[in-house]
Amino acid sequence: MQNPIDHKIDLNDYLNRGNLLTEQSNLASVDLDCLSTYELVRLFSSEDLIPQKAVSKAIPQIINAIDSITKRLSNSGKMYYLGAGTSGRLGVLDAAELPPTFCSSPELVQGIIAGGPNALLKSSEGLEDIGVLAIDELSKRGFTSKDVLLGITAGGTTPFVKHALEYARSCGGLTIAISCVPLEQAKLICDIDIRLLTGPELLTGSTRLKAGTATKMTLNIISTAIMIRLGKVYRNMMIDVNASNNKLVDRAIRIMNELTDIDRPEAISLLAKTNGSVKLALLMVLGELDLDSAKRLLIESNDNLRIALKLSCGT
């Protein structure tokens, strides 16, 4: 990895970012340092309603992203979140939470942060200016035209993200950007442009606040909706939960109890037969199938329980 100290930044790279919405001063907090603790908490609580509105205004673009990503992932593609600083950490967090929640492969959705894993705990902010590092990461991971890059940059100017989006697009991949500034303030070359306009931060320029909150909300919506579309949810239950600890084993049992008429001991017995697969156990009970027939139907239905149950009616 290139040492940022050795990287010579062209003077033209020193942009005046004062015009960016995320860098402007918030008139509601000009005396922030003089407020009482009560006033601080009230003010932050009030401002944190804004991210919800920002996400709501971006619903059309979010829908487009979900449907487009699902199509890619259903055809052997992978998705990469990519960002620097807070944006990068949010992407890595969302990617890391999917395997235990949905039993998805860690390869399916991956998080890339400028500076690598060390940047999750220790600031590596200088690396966000080196765009070639993002290209190196995508190339190393074998990014192809089947894949999706979701670049996250609150201010829309991060070279690490901008270069990655351009590279991914040149590969024929689907490119999506999430930022918190208007299009006229920062253009991003991508297929789907999600703008979460949360306005100036109470602490000027600190985009880990409202911008970060809106970004986290959006990533939660996108990734959860994709997993629903991929058949990892039945009704409102995470039927592909990875029962890897006591809490998740208990959750798996309770899902079985709630969706069927079997009791707890029976649920435990079925989960043992299916090697912990809630989905397979549910299909056996609801479809009145033996283990081998249930496995076959899940394969035929592309691992979708609701479709498998419809097929079971004809078996």
Query: pLDDT (tens digit, 9 = 90+) per residue, 150-174?
Result: 999 999 999 999 999 999 999 999 9
Q: What is the pTM of this model?
A: 0.89
**What does the pLDDT read at residue 13?**
52
**What does the pLDDT read at residue 241?**
82
Q: What are phi and psi of 176, to 5 degrees?
A: -130, 140
Domains, in order of start, for the chain: 4-229 (3.40.50.10490), 246-312 (1.10.8.1080)
Please state the rounded mean pLDDT for residues 185-205.
97
Contacts of 301 by beta carbon, 8 Å cutoff, 6+ apart: 231, 307, 308, 311
Alpha-helix residue ranges (DSSP H) falling in the chain? 37-47, 50-57, 59-73, 85-102, 131-140, 159-170, 210-229, 246-259, 264-273, 278-286, 291-300, 305-312
Contacts of 192 by beta carbon, 8 Å cutoff, 6+ apart: 61, 64, 65, 68, 174, 175, 176, 177
Residue whose pair of structure tokens reads 């609701």 in the numeric block: 306
Contacts of 203 by beta carbon, 8 Å cutoff, 6+ apart: 29, 32, 209
The DSSP letter of residue 81 is E
- Of residues 1 and 175, more confidence is placed in 175
Model confidence over 265-274: pLDDT tens digits?
Answer: 999 999 999 9
**What does the pLDDT read at residue 245?**
83
- Which residues are tagged catalytic? 97, 128
**Residue from 248, 247, 242, 268 nearest 256 by CA:** 268
Q: Judge contact between 180 and 196, C-beta under 8 A.
A: yes
